[in-house]
């Protein structure tokens, strides 16, 4: 589950007969083998739920509630299908993406698009760095003014250096669990407040909820809606890096190398069922959290005409709490915001470090199967990426816009992930190990919805009519 897994003498990316393990049965037996989805949840909860979803609720009210539900549910089947391929082959996503024709020399067209998405993520994750620094600066300003260039720059540097230091220590798994626990506490508090709003001056009722299920998009809100669709739930980046954590958790190694035997197929089915449980649990976590944040934005911020802009984002977000339960909640919110955004940053760093290293391997810069070289490059990106993300924030200083730009580009990349998933499924997955009729129906619906919305996102970007 943590990056330290790759530092053991047993390389999870190398499948050998001695790594085989029998799969558990049922939820009770599977619980200790869950984990990759929790890393994904920690990554999702920050920028998507706290920033993009709340911003959309504040802008349009309840009318796009349906988009929240759709954006979290529609991508799950594609996530599970790509993870199935990974468990059966032991290969991570970008290795598979590079096998989808056509190719330009050593690199496939999907990995070319991935590089473009990765560059846009400098803005999105830079926005997360900025949101974390802003919350910390508001808590403990440097030089008096929490929004001053000096205070924000100092806290950005602390966030960057602190993240690098924690990821380089042997305590990463402990930090990961602690961050997830803080996210859980913060999300539970948010859910309680969101569902307690009917008993406050910011009450909403069934009519408001029903108005959000009409499948309408108000004028001027298309851009924000597309950004939310791209960034909430599992985005193209989470679907991709989920495969790395499935490998490092051990799913593929426990299945073992494919010898074509009935025993191998039985183990594969068993570990795929465990992965299904992992995906389902993470979906429940981030879907409930997403709905809570959207409802709070729609019920508290929208009626007051408050929008999330620039470095004032954290101050406006804190109003969701202070306006409902009093000024004393501001400090609690800021601590929670640091936990939520920080957990996203800390989960993103090791995930993106692996993906960058993997894409370089497809270009021939290193041998992905060489564990020593792979770990060296991952550590290098663990240092470089947070520093570059911090510089991106200091250059732009608008976390909401940065997060939304990344979300739109992620939404555009989603159809490419769908194409890759279907190609790998049809060419490398034994028909006996594909999902049943129900799963395949859901996968088809999910794929069509993602593709249509991705094409629409691309159209809106180039025509500039999204609002």
- Is the residue at 442 inside a domain? no
**188-202, 233-247, 366-380: range with lowest mean pLDDT:** 188-202
- Is the residue at 60 inside a domain? yes
409 CB contacts (<8 Å, ≥6 apart)? 116, 117, 120, 121, 230
Within 13 Å of residue 376, how many CA atoms lie on the same side as its CB? 11
- Is the residue at 47 inside a domain? yes
pTM across the whole model: 0.84
* Dist. CA 176–CA 41, nearest whole Å: 12
Average pLDDT of the residues in 385-412: 76
- Is the residue at 417 inside a domain? yes
**Burial class (CB within 10 angstroms; exposed 0-12, middle 13-18, buried 19+) of 459:** exposed
What confidence score (pLDDT) does residue 339 get? 75
- Is the residue at 238 inside a domain? yes
**121-125, 346-350, 404-408: range with lowest mean pLDDT:** 404-408
What confidence score (pLDDT) does residue 39 get? 82
Domain total of the chain: 1
* Dist. CA 222–CA 465, nearest whole Å: 8
Between helix 329-362 and helix 109-139 the angle, nearest 10°, is: 160
- Is the residue at 458 inside a domain? no
Percent of the chain with pLDDT over 70: 81
* Segments forming the whole domain that contains residue 224: 3-433
The most confident of the ranges 56-65, 90-99, 329-338, 411-420 is 90-99
- Is the residue at 457 inside a domain? no
What confidence score (pLDDT) does residue 455 get? 76
CATH of the domain at 41: 1.20.1740
- Is the residue at 184 inside a domain? yes
What confidence score (pLDDT) does residue 356 get? 96
């Amino acid at each position: 589950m943590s990056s330290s897994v790759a530092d053991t003498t047993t390389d999870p990316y190398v499948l050998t007969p001695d790594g085989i393990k029998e799969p558990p049965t049922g939820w009770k037996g599977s619980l200790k083998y869950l984990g990759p989805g929790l890393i994904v949840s920690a990554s999702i909860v920050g920028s998507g739920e706290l920033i993009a979803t709340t911003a959309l609720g504040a802008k349009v009210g309840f009318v796009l509630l349906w988009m929240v539900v759709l954006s979290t549910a529609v991508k799950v089947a594609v996530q599970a299908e790509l993870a199935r391929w990974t468990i059966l082959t032991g290969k991570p996503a970008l290795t598979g993406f590079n096998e989808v024709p056509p190719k330009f020399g050593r690199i496939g067209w999907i990995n070319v698009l991935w590089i473009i998405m990765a560059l846009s993520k400098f803005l999105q994750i830079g926005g997360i760095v900025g949101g974390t620094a802003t919350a910390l600066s508001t808590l403990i300003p440097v030089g008096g003014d929490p929004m001053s260039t000096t205070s924000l720059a100092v806290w950005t540097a602390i966030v960057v250096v602190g993240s690098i230091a924690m990821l380089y220590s042997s305590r990463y798994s402990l930090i990961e669990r602690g961050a997830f626990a803080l996210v859980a506490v913060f999300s539970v508090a948010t859910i309680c407040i969101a569902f307690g709003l009917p008993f406050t001056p910011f009450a909403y009722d069934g009519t408001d909820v029903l108005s959000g299920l009409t499948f309408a998009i108000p004028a001027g809100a298309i851009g924000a809606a597309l950004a939310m669709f791209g960034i909430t739930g599992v985005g193209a980046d989470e679907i991709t890096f989920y495969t790395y954590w499935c490998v490092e958790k051990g799913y593929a190694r426990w299945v073992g190398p494919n010898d074509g035997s009935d025993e191998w197929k039985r183990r594969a089915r068993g570990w795929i069922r465990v992965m299904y449980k992992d995906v389902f649990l993470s979906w429940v976590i981030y879907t409930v959290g997403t709905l809570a944040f959207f409802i709070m934005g729609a019920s508290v911020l929208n009626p007051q005409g408050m929008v999330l802009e620039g470095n004032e984002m954290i101050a406006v977000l804190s109003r969701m709490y202070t306006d409902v339960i009093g000024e004393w909640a501001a400090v609690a919110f800021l601590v929670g915001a640091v936990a939520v955004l920080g957990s996203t940053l800390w989960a993103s760093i090791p995930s993106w470090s692996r993906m960058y290293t993997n894409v370089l391997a497809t270009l021939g810069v290193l041998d992905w199967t060489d564990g020593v070289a792979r770990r060296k490059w991952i550590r290098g990106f663990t240092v470089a990426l947070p520093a570059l993300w911090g510089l991106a924030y200091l250059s732009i200083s608008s976390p909401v816009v940065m997060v939304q730009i990344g979300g739109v580009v992620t939404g555009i990349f989603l159809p490419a992930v769908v194409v890759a998933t279907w190609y790998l499924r049809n060419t490398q997955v034994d028909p006996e190990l594909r999902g049943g009729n129900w799963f395949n129906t859901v996968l088809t619906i999910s794929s069509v919805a993602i593709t249509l919305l991705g094409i629409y996102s691309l159209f809106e970007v180039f025509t500039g009519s999204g609002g």
